[in-house]
């Protein structure tokens, strides 16, 4: 026990404490409600698992092959998944309340979409 | 003749004129629709088409840059955006520009718009290490910015200086024209508009209709008919790149 | 010939730590500059839409070309049977890897999106010489690594010749690829020349040997190990030979261009222009980088002098950097010929000679690459047995006679 037990203690401690953030009630992402519609273009569970596949592989179909399905377009996502700020305008991805930011900040997964893409719905009068 | 008869003839004349005018308008609309050939959105671009431009420089005024302005507004660069404040003029993007060509010996000047020539054998596509610089099946040459690593080799390779590199963070992009720091971009023949069956912004904006857009592979299209019956040139045709953009009266 | 004893340097002097400290500072400055450029975007550099490759690329291409040339000393021993050079083979391999690593670091850190490099490697476009270069450069690390192992592991010594041959062929293909980056561009008047590939190979011989000499002389001087005249003279002569070979290709390249009316104006720009490129070419590359080192190599009074040999090597390095500047920046400064023979102007800088003023950030990035390369060498010779204990004439000179000392 003496020879093998002592090195095991830190490992055990680590395993036991690994769950504490959840136990302590660390903030879960506060996923904003969509502003319209009963449900997303696909189920929530499908989206949670596969939205990255849609975004990463679908985009190749769109850019490289010219297949533009309205259902799975980024523009379409933003017709519903909008968070309005105090001024009544949609917040952009630089604001932590943005729909994508809530989960991505929690999961600490950086995405670089917003370097190029607009993260809010197109305003009707052409101004963003 | 009684008034009734005159009214009757008048009404008939007006009615017939209206019918002819309406029919002509409708037919014209159908014809334009056929030219623009809007394919269904979820259908892939096809090599049965080859999009191109025919530019008549004799109609191009040296002090006019409506085509440039239209492109800027459509895609959100230059005057079409509040971005690129930190970049120096030599670093700012330019998708299309007006070029003045002057013959040294005679002094004769021509003005013409210069943009990506959408080569059939694009040097930029050959040199891109990641395949970001690509030619779509229907001939449109563009940068897939998801894959672009910003090495700028395509900019070295392009004989037409069509490509620009984004030198700073951007915030004021247009939804249909994503553009960002560290990637390369160029005229994409308004691929977002073409896929909807519209013309490129420059072609639509030209007040003299100097820029004609169409399907080079469709023998019935206006561009194909004009190219078959009138002389035209390619800029640096000696390079053998088979350009999608042709010029007249240079 | 007596078997060579290799030993790590002691690395316990203040000088050693000061050198590492200095190199560390250069590396930190380079990395800091890279972060600054990456974070802000390239607007902070002197590069723009006309001069798309600048100072970082001058350094990077120089280091990469020199890397393949640095392997030459080992190749001459293993492949061409120059047994007198065998003691130097290990250092040659280490230097080759170090220089390539330095050059690639600079290239990668200058990218607009270096974070996408892994994705890039999974989507290679094999029509692009750049894509082939990614494979060639990584392969070079692997092959030279194996080559070094065959030299340093006694049981593998019998494979050194094969590994050496493989490495030699690979390095020739690699440098052909580097030269072809420019040679295969039809767009620019200064490029689009098949001769650029062999020209780069010849340049690599001279740059690589020059850097090798500087590293060799410095490490023996500072580690207090004996370095005899035989090695110094041998290196000097070789340098003279390689410099002539490189100059030959450069001359042929320019003469060919001058003969064709189509290319005459770009030649006038580069050789006779009122600009920095002509000055760098004639004074930097031809006079300082070629003619003076040749004089030092061949004229008696200069021979067997460590001072003169170091000067010659340093001049070749300076001339090499000047040449890279002329090729890379000068080639971009000259305007694209959209309408040959006509005057062209536009809002996008068509038809004008493009100015370029490098900023501190991009120059530091380039210098950082040199720092990384040298740091790898210093750490390498401290940790592993790369350096022969002695290179005195008695040990290395095959024609040594004791009374001639």
Q: What is the pLDDT of residues B149-168, one digit of tens each?
A: 999 999 999 999 999 999 99
Look up the domain containing A72 and give its range. 28-115
Q: Is residue B77 within 8 Å of residue B250, measured between CB atoms?
A: no
**Is some CB atom of chain C closer than 8 A to the CB atom of B101?**
yes
Q: Give the three-state DSSP class for B184.
A: strand
C348-392 pLDDT, tens per residue?
A: 999 999 999 999 999 999 999 999 999 999 999 999 999 999 888
The closest alpha carbon to A34, from A23, A22, A47, belongs to A47
Does A122 reside within a domain? no
- Residues in C closer than 8 angstroms to B129, CB to CB, are 120, 124-125, 128, 130-131, 134
- B48 Cα to chain C: minimum distance (Å): 24
- In this structure, is the dihedral angle defined by the CA atoms of residues A46, A51, A57 and A58, taken in order, positive or negative? positive
Give the three-state DSSP class for C365.
helix
Among the ranges given (A59-73, B183-197, C35-49, C210-224), the one the predictor scored with the smallest mean pLDDT: A59-73
3-class state of residue C50 by DSSP = coil
Burial A82-118 (b: 16+ CB within 10 A, else e): bbeeeeeebbbbeeeebbbbbebeeeeeeeebbbbbb
The domain tally of chain A equals 1
Output the CA–CA distances (angstroms, integers) from residue C281 to B229, C63, C70, C285, C323, in the order listed.
51, 19, 23, 5, 6
CATH of domain C14-404: 1.20.1630.10
Query: Angle CA(C245)–CA(C250)–CA(C253) in degrees, nearest 5?
Result: 130
ipTM: 0.91
* Confidence bin at B31 (pLDDT 50/70/90): very low
What residues does each domain of chain C span? 14-404
Nearest CB to C346; choose among B98, B153, B236? B98
- Asked if the Cβ–Cβ distance from A67 to B191 is below 8 Å, we say no
**pLDDT for the residue C221:** 92
Contact B175 A118 (CB under 8 A): yes
Is A69 contained in some domain? yes
pLDDT tens for A34-75 read: 777 777 888 888 888 888 888 888 889 999 999 988 888 888
B151/C111 touch (CB, cutoff 8 Å), yes or no: yes
Write the burial class of residue C345 (CB in 10 Å: 0-12 exposed, 13-18 middle, 19+ buried): middle
A59 to B146: CB separation less than 8 angstroms, yes or no: yes
Q: Which of C344, C236, C249 is nearest to C299 (CA)?
A: C236
Does A123 have pLDDT greater than 50?
yes
Mean pLDDT of C276-295: 95
Q: Distance (Å, rounded) from C-alpha C139 to C-alpha A38?
A: 55
pLDDT for residue B32: 46
Give the residue ranges of DSSP H helices in B128-243: 153-157, 191-194, 201-205, 222-229
- Residue C338, number of CB atoms within 10 A of its CB: 18
pTM: 0.88
**CB hemisphere CA count around C401 (13 angstroms):** 2
């Amino acid at each position: 026990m003496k020879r093998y037990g002592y090195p095991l203690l830190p490992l055990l401690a680590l395993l036991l404490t690994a769950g504490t953030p959840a136990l302590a009630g660390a903030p879960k992402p506060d996923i904003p409600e969509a502003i319209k519609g009963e449900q997303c273009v696909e189920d929530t569970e499908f989206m949670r698992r596969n939205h990255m596949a849609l975004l990463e592989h679908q985009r190749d179909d769109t850019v490289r092959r010219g297949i533009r399905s309205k259902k799975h377009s980024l523009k379409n996502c933003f017709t519903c998944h909008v968070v309005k700020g105090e001024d009544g305008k949609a917040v952009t991805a630089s604001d932590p309340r943005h729909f994508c930011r809530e989960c991505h900040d929690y999961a600490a997964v950086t995405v670089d979409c917003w370097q190029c893409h607009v993260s809010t719905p197109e305003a009707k009068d052409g101004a963003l | 003749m009684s008034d009734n008869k005159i009214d009757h003839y008048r009404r008939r004349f007006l009615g017939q004129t209206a019918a002819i005018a309406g029919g002509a308008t409708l037919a014209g609309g159908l014809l334009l629709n056929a030219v623009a050939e809007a394919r269904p959105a979820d259908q892939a671009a096809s090599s049965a088409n080859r999009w191109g431009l025919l530019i008549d420089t004799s109609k191009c005024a040296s002090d006019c840059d409506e085509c440039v302005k239209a492109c800027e507004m459509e895609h959100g660069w230059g005057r079409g955006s509040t971005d690129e404040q930190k970049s120096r003029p030599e670093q700012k993007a330019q998708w299309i520009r007006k070029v003045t060509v002057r013959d040294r010996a005679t002094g004769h000047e021509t003005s013409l718009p210069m943009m990506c020539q959408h080569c059939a054998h694009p040097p930029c596509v050959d040199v891109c290490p990641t395949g970001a610089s690509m030619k779509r099946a229907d001939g449109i040459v563009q940068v897939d910015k998801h894959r672009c690593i910003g090495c700028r080799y395509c900019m070295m390779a392009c004989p037409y200086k069509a490509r620009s590199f984004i030198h700073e963070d951007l915030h004021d992009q247009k939804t249909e024209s994503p553009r960002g720091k560290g990637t390369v971009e160029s005229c994409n023949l308004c691929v977002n508009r073409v896929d909807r069956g519209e013309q490129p912004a420059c072609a639509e904006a030209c007040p003299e209709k100097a820029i004609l857009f169409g399907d080079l592979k469709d023998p019935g299209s206006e561009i194909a008919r004009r190219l078959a019956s009138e002389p035209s040139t390619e800029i640096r045709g000696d390079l053998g790149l088979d350009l999608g953009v042709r010029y007249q009266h240079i | 010939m007596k078997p060579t004893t290799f030993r790590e340097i002691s690395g316990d002097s203040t000088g050693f730590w000061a050198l590492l400290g200095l190199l560390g500072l250069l590396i930190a400055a380079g990395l800091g500059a890279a972060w600054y450029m990456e974070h802000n975007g390239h607007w902070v550099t002197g590069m723009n839409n006309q001069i798309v490759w600048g100072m970082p690329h001058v350094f990077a291409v120089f280091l990469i070309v020199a890397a393949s040339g640095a392997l030459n000393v080992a190749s001459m021993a293993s492949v061409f049977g120059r047994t007198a050079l065998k003691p130097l083979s290990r250092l040659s391999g280490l230097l080759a890897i170090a220089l390539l690593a330095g050059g690639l670091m600079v290239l990668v850190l200058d990218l607009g999106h270096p974070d996408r490099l892994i994705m890039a490697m999974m989507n290679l476009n094999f029509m692009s010489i750049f894509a082939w270069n990614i494979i060639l450069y990584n392969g070079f690390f692997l092959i030279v690594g194996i080559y070094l192992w065959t030299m340093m592991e006694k049981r593998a010594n019998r494979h050194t010749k094969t590994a050496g041959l493989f490495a030699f062929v690979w390095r020739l293909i690699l440098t052909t690829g580097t030269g072809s980056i420019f040679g295969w561009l039809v767009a620019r008047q200064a490029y689009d020349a098949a001769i650029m590939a062999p020209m780069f190979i010849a340049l690599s011989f001279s740059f690589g040997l020059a850097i090798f000499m500087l590293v060799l002389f410095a490490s023996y001087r500072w580690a207090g190990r004996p370095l005899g005249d035989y090695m110094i003279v041998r290196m000097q002569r070789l340098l003279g030979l390689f410099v002539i070979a490189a100059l030959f290709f450069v001359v042929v390249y320019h003469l060919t261009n001058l003969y064709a009316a189509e290319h005459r104006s770009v030649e006038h720009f580069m050789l006779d222009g009122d600009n920095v490129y002509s000055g760098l070419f004639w004074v930097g590359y031809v006079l300082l980088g070629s003619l003076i080192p040749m004089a030092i190599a061949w004229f008696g009074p200069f021979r067997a002098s460590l001072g003169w040999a170091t000067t010659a090597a340093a001049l070749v390095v300076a001339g090499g950097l000047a040449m890279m500047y002329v090729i890379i920046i000068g080639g971009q400064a000259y305007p694209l010929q959209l309408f040959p023979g006509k005057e062209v102007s536009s809002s996008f800088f068509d038809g004008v000679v493009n100015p370029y003023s490098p900023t501190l950030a991009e120059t530091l990035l380039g210098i950082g690459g040199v720092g990384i390369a040298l740091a790898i060498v210093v750490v390498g010779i401290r940790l592993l047995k790369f350096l022969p204990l002695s290179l005195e004439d008695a040990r290395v000179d095959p024609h040594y006679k004791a009374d001639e000392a």
